[in-house]
Chain A
Amino acid sequence: MAALWVAGVARKSLTVAAGAPRREFWSRFRKEKQPMEAETVEEVKKEPVLVCPPLRSQAYLPPEDLQSRLESHVKEVFGSSVPTSWQEISLEDVHMKFSFLARLADDLGHAVPNSRLHQMCRVRDVLDFYTVPVQDRSKFDELIASNLPPNLKITWGY
């Protein structure tokens, strides 16, 4: 029994020691790996790189030439034949409204939110919307920055 077992182990060790069949066995796997890696690298390069642009701040300050910019956009969208009362032009037509508001949003970096789109009936409403500045800071930051009486302290421990 023990002699048979020793002979079997010796046979196994002989076959393991014979390196030629083992090398052939492993070399097949090595050859298969290399073309696969080259293919995956090429596929990754072909996909377009989608990089997220930097976050925009929600703060908006109306520029000083807001009225002139609005007038120029009105002329672009509604044609150059614009009456002097350009603020009374109605935005009923969906095409005109979309092109006008989209151009303004791209120009000024501040878009009309969904909840207030239906309130924009005339160019005057759009002008009133864009004259209101929007601040990025929370109420607490505003309070801290404003003039407080000396006995009032605000600690924001978030």
Chain B
Amino acid sequence: MLQLVRAGARAWLRPRGCRGLNALAEEAVQPAEKPEPLANAGPQAPVLRRCELPVPLHRRPVQAWVESLRGYEQERVGLTELHPDVFSTAPRLDILHQVAIWQKNFKRISYAKTKTRAEVRGGGRKPWQQKGSGRARHGSIRSPIWRGGGVAHGPRGPTSYYYMLPMKVRVQGLKVALTVKLAQDDLHIVDSLELPTADPQYLMELARYRRWGDSVLFVDLEHDDMPQNVVAATSGLKTFNLVPAVGLNVHSMLKHQTLVLTLPTVAFLEEKLLWHDSRYTPLYPFRLPYRDFP
């Protein structure tokens, strides 16, 4: 009785066409209908992004298509502007080389060590007298010209090849690498890294269809916010790798044929890399807390 009264009240409050359905059944049907219009909506609003940071007056921003990974044919979902001082700077290949070689070498510790004539066991005594024996004169049996003797100028102990390039050189290296990727059509901007399946085969076929190349580097903003599907898909593939934005480096960008950035990552990179153009020299190292460090 109370249900009939409620149904009658609802029918009076929302006068629509004749509804043969029960009110409860309508509520049950509506949540099932809601996802369908979202999936079938054809022309969605384009994803457009302007550059937030100030652009120098003599330069204009570079642009790139915003793509989507949700479907094979969803290229050109939007258009984004990219800051010219990050994505269209001078192509300094020498800086790229410096930074790539630095990345390779600064972590290197070579553990090779050989014994000198002083460290080889034995050889303290003069083997035979200086004159009269007819043989060549020698002072010890472990000198470098002897078999079994020490090494004269060999590697001496663990050697470290650690050196640091100036911070601005490393930052410029990242900017040049991004410029080179965009200029050679190997950079793709994506609205987000959401995939319809966690199947690695889907990612491979997508890259093949869009002609991205053999190796792709996906860059998301935070490590914790990465979608599960893309994490599962990239962990199953060897040449498709996923890194957070802080893990972007010149060697990885050069090693992978294609670079895929998300829109929040682009904003993050622009802010971090452009700050160094107009900063004061540090009074104390940047790893200690600053109030206005980005």
Q: Are A52's CB and B72's CB within 8 A?
A: yes
- Looking across the interface, which residue of chain B has its beta carbon closest to that of A103? B76
Among A30-38, A61-69, A111-119, the stretch that binds chain B is A111-119
Residues in A with CB closer than 8 Å to B73 are 53
Known: A95-B46, A98-B46, A98-B48. A111 touches B208 (CB 8 A): no
Q: Are B205's CB and A52's CB within 8 A?
A: yes
Known: A98-B48, A114-B182, A118-B62. A55 touches B79 (CB 8 A): no
Q: How many angstroms from the CA of A58 to the CA of B197 in the assembled complex?
A: 28
Q: How far is the CB of A90 from chain B (nearest CB, A)?
A: 12
Interface residues contributed by chain B, number (CB under 8 Å) = 31
Our pick among A48, A114, A117, A118 for the contact of B188 (Cβ within 8 Å) is A114
The A-contacting residues of B in range 36-50, CB under 8 angstroms, are: 46, 48, 50
Q: How far is the CB of A103 from chain B (nearest CB, A)?
A: 10
- Looking across the interface, which residue of chain B has its beta carbon closest to that of A52? B205
- Looking across the interface, which residue of chain B has its beta carbon closest to that of A54? B209
Residues in A with CB closer than 8 Å to B197 are 47, 50
Our pick among B72, B79, B182 for the contact of A53 (Cβ within 8 Å) is B72
Known: A52-B72, A94-B48. A118 touches B208 (CB 8 A): no
Q: How far is the CB of A155 from chain B (nearest CB, A)?
A: 27
Q: Are A117's CB and B196's CB within 8 A?
A: no
Residues in B with CB closer than 8 Å to A105 are 76
Known: A58-B211, A118-B60. A94 touches B79 (CB 8 A): yes
Q: Is B222 an interface residue (CB 8 A)?
A: no
Q: Are B64's CB and A114's CB within 8 A?
A: yes
Q: How many angstroms from the CA of A97 to the CA of B50 in the assembled complex?
A: 13
- Looking across the interface, which residue of chain A has its beta carbon closest to that of B49? A94
Main secondary structure of the interface of B (DSSP, over half): mixed
A-side residues, CB < 8 A to B, are 47-48, 50, 52-53, 55-56, 58, 94-95, 97-99, 101-102, 105-106, 111, 113-115, 117-118
Residues in A with CB closer than 8 Å to B277 are none
Instruction: Map CB proximity to A onto B166-195 as digits: 1 under 8 Å, 0 otherwise.
Output: 000000000000000011110110000000
Instruction: Map CB proximity to A onto B27-69 as digits: 1 under 8 Å, 0 otherwise.
Output: 0000000000000000000101010000000001111110000
Q: Are A117's CB and B76's CB within 8 A?
A: no
- Looking across the interface, which residue of chain A has its beta carbon closest to that of B206? A52
- Looking across the interface, which residue of chain B has its beta carbon closest to that of A106? B76
Q: Are A114's CB and B72's CB within 8 A?
A: no
Q: Are B62's CB and A50's CB within 8 A?
A: no
Q: Is B271 an interface residue (CB 8 A)?
A: no
Which among A47, A56, A58, A102 has the greatest number of chain B C-beta atoms within 10 A?
A: A102
